[in-house]
Amino acid sequence: MIVGIGDDAAVLRAPDRRVVATTDMLIEGRHFLREWSSPRDIGRKAAARNLADIAAMGARPTALLVSFAGPGDLEVSWVLELVAGIGAEASSAGAAVAGGDTSSADVVMLAVTALGDLEGIAPVTRNGARPGDQVAITGTLGSAAAGLALLRAGAGAGAGTGLDAGVGPGSDSGARQALADPDLESLIAAHRRPSPPYSAGPEAAALGATAMIDVSDGLVADLGHIASASGVRMDLEADPIAKEPIAMRRSLVRAAEIVGGDADWRRWVLAGGDDHALAATFPAGLALPRRWTVFGRVTRGQGIFVDGRGWVGAGGWEHFST
């Protein structure tokens, strides 16, 4: 960054002469609840959602522009912690906060724009998957969806870091009793603060990935975007992603038992959002680094098939509206 915060605009270096850009909004009550997440976690989540999209294009994140609006009675310390979270997440991805704007609103609203550098490599888009390609993923799946379900069931401290009290809709004694299980804390933490594998994006591009996407809305839904854009069908196997390192199976099973009802940990893995894993297609036979798990292939046709069956039901979610 040549010129940072303090002038009318920032000036950034663009060695590649191409700039990857993405923007996203987070609205209180729609994408997060202040009762369930600390301001630092909200800031990190706001940054991560955008930085992951940059990585999914095969680019290296370089900068964030952040616009913030909130109620007039919001404590300054809360806002400063939010800003610290944004900065910390940007730094973890190798990016900097270059500027932004502030205003007032009835609820907290964040608009984040992320920029990235392709470093001489062609962008990896959604329309490049071809029959014969292998489908692979890196990161985690299902944890954020399970964490949200636990919070809804009351198994979580308000905006704290531990699981010490029930809050929110659905709070009951059964959920509180589950707090003795330390495995559940990582699931709630995943909802509050995702951990995208940023470096895997440029890595995939360098390896020759033909298509790639950030899994934000659910694996089936997001791979459906690639299948549609590429005009192909994807045949997926559930078993390789239903265990570590992709799915924290023991924790997910326990969470489903606590939540009860129609909770299904497998559906969290296949259709839960907000984990921000990276899914990509690669040429057949290409040896991939260990952090990539191959779990399917691209074929002729259309749609998403899991274990030989066309996917039935919702392919993803819509945050707090579900």
102-130 pLDDT, tens per residue? 999 999 999 999 999 999 999 999 999 99
Q: Give the Cα separation of 62 and 117 in Å (integer).
A: 7
Same domain, residue pair 95 and 160: no
Residue 267 lies in a domain: yes
**Which domain covers residue 278, as residue numbers?**
134-315
Residue with tokens 């809360």: 78
- Residue 103 token pair: 């205003």
Does residue 193 contact residue 44 with C-beta atoms inside 8 Å? yes
Query: Do residues 167 and 300 share a domain?
Result: yes
Q: What is the pLDDT of residue 49?
A: 95
Query: In whole angstroms, what is the distance from residue 194 CA to residue 47 CA?
Result: 10
* Amino acid letter, 15: P
Structure tokens at 128: 């490049």
- As for how many domains the chain has, the answer is 2
Dihedrals φ, ψ of 283, to 5°?
A: -55, 145
Question: Residue 260: which CATH number?
Answer: 3.90.650.10
Q: What is the DSSP letter of 240?
A: G
Domain shared by 144 and 100, yes or no: no
Residues 183, 288: one domain?
A: yes
In a domain, 145, yes or no: yes
Contact 306, 242 (CB under 8 A): no
Do 139 and 102 have their domain in common? no
Question: Low-confidence residues of the chain, pLDDT below 70?
Answer: 155-180, 313-322
Render pLDDT for 38-94 as a digit per residue (tens, 0 to 9).
999 999 999 999 999 999 999 999 999 999 999 999 999 999 999 999 999 999 999
For residues 90 and 219, state if they share a domain.
no
Strands (E), 182-292: 211-215, 233-236, 277-282
For residue 7, is it within any domain? no
